[in-house]
Structure 1
């Protein structure tokens, strides 16, 4: 029987979390699981005295073994987004153990580690396919080819001096010229993140939509817009500084206003592992206090 192999990704975090990391590693070793750890995280674990000689490492998408059964992301939602850049179009399922604060994507509690891992190893889970966005430009390569986002793609003003104008075209038809601090294009997964804080709606995963949300628009009649995920969005930026910031989940670049953008659905999806007791609307109510009303308690 072929040995199960899993990948682990994480970042530097508080020492108070180390006992949970040790618990994960010890549990997996007892189960005779082959472990492949991201190199930077491995170095951190080594310095913390929590590593093991049987662990092998990988550094990027290019050397991530293709026979991985699933990836574990150890941290918060930001760590989960960074892990997506390593998985890309490999189809490797990913689960997140929450060492952070909110834990909307990485929603396995550190109190339930062994129970959750047993269910995953026994394949007692569902895979949720999550849509991603991609961004590209005819003028230059963006993010060294890691130009896709699970949450959102956002353009911001470069500094705090003045707003920018974002000329947005859907399928080559003018949508609007947004006078604002920026513009968010979010997936259903990202609709509960930055877009939500800017007044955007919550969109259920799998609904086949994106949401376009302006950031502090200078027009009171400009509101977030839900669009089909089959559209192609072209964006041109005007700014007094002749610069703007483009973010792609946790990554960002400063660009010249001569760089125009094309934003569309990515050609691949990400497989999120969801355990039997994890339901979308219960997560909304628990994590975001959605619909909370004292009359219900």
Structure 2
């Protein structure tokens, strides 16, 4: 099969932990042809199909540094591939949004895109949890300074976060003393111009912010607990958290088995649920990670499970 990965520049990959690389490696092991491009390479012109301009057909070298070799470069119509995998990392900004529309046009032309572009737009990673209130901690979404202050007064210990952050960027904790609450609100809501999410602090973060992967509607049996280090409140690996793989809990499974089939039916082949304690905090759909960390620590082959599901989805869509 011919697979096109729409991703960040290949040269930026840290192959020892990169999930997209692990997908490519498993796909190559099965004999699939690998192509790659950046969202900026997507082009549509009236009378033609959505095309990846200058897409690169690559083979994997097995070298940790120079890990790929370009076999050819060509303008590749997305409809001429067997599958397009949208793996551009967040943030979900205007350019990401525009790329999903180009990918949606490619779908109309016959391309098979995973995750489905419309589903990417419909599931902003922090706000998607609102559909499942039975699994989340007390949560507020607002621009209002007064509403945030009232929420803090009720819950005393809260987390504030921007809706467009990634990797733990822009997350603040405010305890019972309310120290710096006003300044933090001003920083995040920009005088009421931007919406903020506020959640009751979940103390189980000390045991880790768990990434629970769901592939084709089915939970991976192991998660990665990203444990804050030192004085940090953030477990994100990008913020210095330590990743420890462990079996998913009964609560993790309950959340995953509820959300997974719904997400799969909407065209989300791969979802990363973030769970702290018993509480769902995010539903990641743009470019979920942690394949390699879980596989390396447990021996469970997450990339194999994913490519199995991808192959089945391609055949089902044929």
* Structure-2-length-normalised TM-score: 0.26
Q: Which has the higher helix share?
A: 2
Q: Which has the higher strand share?
A: 1
